[in-house]
A and B are shown apart, each in its own frame.
Chain A
Amino acid sequence: MKILLALIKKEIKQILRDPSSIVIAFILPLISFLIYMYGVNLDSVKVTIGIKNDDNSPEVATLVKSFGHSKYVNSINFDNMEDIKTAIVRSKIKGAVVIPNDFSTKLSRGQGVNKGADLLIITDGSEVNTANYVQSYANMIANQWLITSKYKMHLPRPLINTEVRTWYNPDLNSHYFIVPGSIAITMTLIGILLTSLVIAREWERGTMEALLSTKVRVIHIVLGKYIPYFILGMVSMAFNVFLCVCIFQIPFKGSYLLLFLISGIFLFTSLGIGLLISTVLKNQFMASMVAMSLGFMPALMLSGLMFPINSMPVFFQYLTAIIPPRYYISFIESEFMAGGVNEIRLANAFYLTVLGLILFVAVYKKTQMRLEK
């Protein structure tokens, strides 16, 4: 016990003396929060589109105007297709709407054989997300205009009204989603990237040989690394939650006790990944490369934070089962937005515990007590 305590104290001193671990635990989360809150806009993306109007009827001019007044788009008027093309290549506009010269004629014809008027919507397909926005915004604006225009009498009355409700996040405020997600990323960074270096460092600097010639046992070495970084992670977690809830006013519906408990389990699992990498590779360069590739990047790409897991091909859906952040993100989002859903808490905590224990055993088995295997 005393040995363990000594190792923990040593590690904590080392953490406190190196500003970089403090930066990763406290400054980087703050920067990320600021960017998510005030920098990037993930909600109603306002896109810039070009408009080319070939129809000079006064009624169509109001359509062009309604593009100009929409809160979803900025519009720029163009006279020829060449300019539109250049502007799209330069990413000045993300798409364009072309109103053909027979637009109003076709509309006033109303019911008949040639139902409706054509409208050309061009998008910049190289950015698929914005292309989708351009499509649906252009459609929406045109249709809304149609309802208020003089052609409205030709419109059929809808039989079914769809009412869309979004539960847990009625305004679809992306901050509520991305900020808790960012906590998960910070936890992953501390758990995997920071700790992937700490055992490798002892081998590189030669302190391991001295440690191995004392009473230190495998369990001391293993816990002596788990515990200090666990503490650092949990303190950072508390700081993150404080920022999140008190400063940035992200509503929290769940239980703080369970939030910290399950975050603790997740941290335990991430630490397992980081320490396993460090123990096996014993070289900081390789360890950091692997920690990035097997730890951090999957946490970003495969965890469901950025890309929905359900949409992945089946094989990759199974693959995400071994990625701990996947469970944590599912839990933390639900805990923040929905509150007490016991099934979600239990299922995710269970998987995380199983993964964490497997990793712990692996770290334990791989820790060498000699200079050779």
Chain B
Amino acid sequence: MIRDFLRRVIALMKKEFITIWNDPKSRAIIVMMPIMQLLIFSNAATMEVRNIDTVVLDRCQSVESRELLSRFKNSSRFRNFYYVYNEKEFQKELDTQKVQIGINIPNDFSRNIKSKRGANVLVVSDGRQTNSAAIGAGYATQIISGYNAELTGNTGTQINPTVRNWFNPNLEYKWYILTVIVAMLSLVSTLILTALSIARERELGTFDQLIVSPLSSFEILLGKSIPPLIIAMSLTMIMVGIVIAFFHVPFNGSIILFFISILISLMAIVGVGLFISAICNTQQQAILSVMTFMMPAVLLSGFISPIEDMPIGWQYLTYLNPVRFFMVLSRGIFLKGMEIEDVITNLIPLIIIAAITLTLASRTFKRKLG
């Protein structure tokens, strides 16, 4: 009994492997595409604002204004400076996105400093890049207040903040984004692999033959979910290896917990993928449904904005979202060394999601027989 069961499931698994793995082109695409993306995105994607180009309108042309500008030039954040002589040119540089920040120093700048009346500096940022605008303007303000502090001679009382960034002392953006990218890439691969698997058989007419065979729905489900799971799991582990070996991100948690968490997360995603596949008749429907699931799931995973910060109704919605827990777990164990009880709290919803989607998938492809 159990031997028959295993034999059938293994047969189907083998077949699934051959279909996706035997063609060298397909193999290359499955492996190389995510790794290539990992290498490119992790290097390119940063929220830190660097290389800021600046337009300067210095109407004062005094020692003080030049001193202030030299503070900017010495900052590693700022790159090129374009000097203009009137408002019109100033505006044009910003309009055409040649620069991101504008500094406008009025002609009474030096006079007002000397007379201790308080001078004004105008910092203009390009709001079309809303995020970088705020950050860039923040840097500019910091530099100006630094100069201010020098002028006032650092006298008077103040608060000296000591900042400690746990788990990422230098706040390396790469550490954060790498865990997100790895999770996103395994999400994409897993979803495409599973969502197309049944839809492809339907479109090409081979699914009937499978149903007629003695394979039960449960066996088909196993045979269809294990190969993508193995491929996605290996892929994720390779990517994690790259993250540790080449990007030197410290792994703080327990490898076993991490492995189990990824496995269960991927299972929930496989469940979603197979469910999509079971309700779709063509590969086009499947891939577009994947997209329709993935966009909201990623947006509501806490990656774009913290979940606690969403309206309460939306927060409840995220409990249905496997990507949310996947992100929390991968980052939590990797960077923060999450302990077992916290891991389990996050795993329970994933297990429930996996159970529900997998059951729905097997129910659905049976019911679709018409």
Interface residues of chain A, those whose CB is within 8 Å of chain B, are 18-21, 23-24, 27-28, 31-32, 35-36, 38-42, 45-48, 74, 88-91, 94, 107, 109-111, 115-132, 135-136, 138-139, 142-143, 146, 151, 154-170, 172-174, 176-178, 185, 189, 193-194, 197, 201, 204-205, 281, 283-286, 288-290, 292-294, 296-298, 301-302, 304, 306-308, 310-313, 316, 319-320, 330, 333-334, 337-338, 341, 343-344
Contacts and interface: CB of A to CB of B under 8 A. Distances in A.
A21 B40 CA distance: 30
A289 B33 contact: yes
B249 to A, nearest CB: 10
Given A117-B160, A284-B283, A310-B51, A32 B148 contact: no
B342 A90 contact: yes
B287 A288 contact: yes
A31 B295 contact: yes
Contacts of A32: 295-296, 299
A35 B33 CA distance: 29
A41, A117, A288: which has the most chain B beta carbons within 10 Å?
Answer: A288
Interface of B: 20, 25-26, 29-30, 33-34, 36-37, 40-41, 43-53, 68, 79, 94-97, 100, 113, 116, 118-134, 137-138, 140-141, 144-145, 147-148, 151-169, 171-173, 175-177, 179, 184, 188-189, 192, 196, 200, 203-204, 280, 282-285, 287-289, 291-292, 295-296, 299-300, 304-306, 308-311, 314, 317, 328, 331-332, 335-339, 342
22 contacts: A20-B284, A24-B291, A42-B131, A116-B157, A128-B171, A128-B175, A156-B156, A161-B119, A161-B120, A163-B120, A165-B122, A167-B124, A167-B125, A170-B127, A177-B131, A284-B283, A285-B192, A308-B132, A310-B51, A310-B52, A333-B128, A344-B97
A319 B46 contact: no
B158 A146 contact: yes
Nearest to B191: A292
A116 B335 CA distance: 34
Nearest to B129: A308
B332 A161 contact: no
Contact of B47 (A18, A129, A151): A129
A38 to B, nearest CB: 7
A158 B285 contact: no
Contact of A158 (B68, B152, B175, B188): B152
Contact of A18 (B53, B179, B284, B306): B284
A310 B163 CA distance: 27
B309 A111 contact: no
B159 A120 contact: no
B158 A40 contact: no
Contacts of B152: 156-159
Nearest to B48: A311
A286 B29 contact: yes
A122 B200 CA distance: 51
Contacts of B97: 330, 334, 341, 344
A139, A201, A311: which has the most chain B beta carbons within 10 Å?
Answer: A311
Given A45-B305, A160-B148, A313-B44, A297 B188 contact: yes
A89 B304 CA distance: 20
Nearest to B147: A160
A293 B33 contact: yes
Contact of A116 (B26, B120, B160): B160
Contact of A304 (B96, B129, B173, B188): B129
A116 B287 contact: no
Question: Would you call the interface of chain A mostly helix, strand, loop, or mixed?
Answer: helix
A287 to B, nearest CB: 9
Given A119-B161, A162-B145, A343-B96, 9 more contacts: A88-B166, A111-B156, A126-B167, A135-B161, A166-B137, A170-B127, A288-B192, A311-B46, A313-B44
A162 B336 CA distance: 38
A167 B20 contact: no
Contact of B127 (A35, A168, A185): A168
B121 A40 contact: no
A299 to B, nearest CB: 12
Given A41-B305, A116-B160, A334 B151 contact: no
Contact of A313 (B43, B120, B144): B43
Contacts of B162: 118-121
Given A111-B157, A117-B159, A124 B144 contact: no
Contacts of B118: 157-161
Contacts of B311: 38-39
A158 B148 contact: yes
Nearest to B169: A125
Sorted nearest first, the 10 A-B pairs with minimum C-beta distance are: A125-B168, A169-B127, A154-B157, A125-B165, A156-B156, A126-B335, A116-B158, A177-B130, A293-B33, A316-B44
Contacts of A35: 296, 299-300
Contact of A160 (B33, B151, B306): B151
A87 to B, nearest CB: 11
A172 B128 CA distance: 9
Contacts of B203: 204-205
A2 B199 CA distance: 34
Nearest to B199: A284
B288 A312 contact: no
A301 to B, nearest CB: 5
A21 B288 contact: yes
A130 B306 contact: yes
A170 B328 CA distance: 34
Contact of A132 (B46, B171, B296): B171
Contact of A20 (B153, B154, B285, B314): B285
B197 to A, nearest CB: 9
Nearest to B145: A162
Contacts of A302: 40-41, 44-45
Given A122-B164, A126-B332, A164 B123 contact: yes
